[in-house]
């Protein structure tokens, strides 16, 4: 229930910046990429710890990775410290050790990839809106 509320809040903030169609497109791409990163991190963990069953079976892939990716984006548009999501990652896993660390880390990596690399331009180019950002008058 908390994830749904967080997703609604983050989406409302980003909907003021991006068009609704692009925001939906962004959510779909982020869901796929955060799941991909989570799976990749779990495989690396299994290889590193040499315990395939424990590291590959335990855990989750869900919307929480997308929420962390959105937190990375929101840090650009709000007065929140740019790296607060790293602090949240550590605090969440200290206070709630049963949460899926790889899912959250995968989401942060997707957000950082979008924010600092070619992914943002690639998604703008491939968007159905042809222009992702809202005009200043909207």
Structure tokens at 78: 């709000």
CB-based burial label for 23 (10 Å; 0-12, 13-18, 19+): middle
State yes or no: is 93 an active-site residue.
no
Structure tokens at 114: 């979008």
User: What backbone torsions phi and psi does residue 110 show, to the nearest 5 degrees?
Assistant: -65, -45
- In the set 11, 64, 93, 127, the catalytic residue is 64
Burial track 86-106 (b if 16+ CB lie within 10 A, e otherwise): eeebeeeeeeeeeebbbbbbb
State yes or no: is 135 an active-site residue.
no
- In the set 104, 127, 135, 136, the catalytic residue is 104
| Catalytic residue annotation | 64, 104
């Amino acid at each position: 229930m908390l994830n749904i509320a967080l997703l609604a809040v983050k989406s409302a903030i980003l909907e003021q910046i991006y068009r609704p169609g692009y925001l939906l497109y962004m959510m779909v791409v982020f869901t796929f990429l955060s799941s991909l990163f989570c799976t990749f991190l779990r495989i690396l963990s299994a290889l590193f710890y040499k315990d395939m069953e424990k590291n590959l079976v335990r855990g989750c892939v869900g919307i929480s990775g997308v929420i962390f990716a959105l937190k990375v984006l929101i840090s650009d548009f709000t007065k929140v410290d740019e790296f607060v999501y790293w602090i949240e990652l550590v605090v969440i896993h200290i206070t709630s050790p049963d949460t899926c660390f790889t899912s959250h880390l995968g989401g942060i990596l997707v957000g950082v990839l979008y924010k600092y690399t070619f992914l943002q331009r690639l998604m703008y180019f491939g968007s159905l809106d042809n222009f992702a950002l809202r005009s200043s008058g909207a």
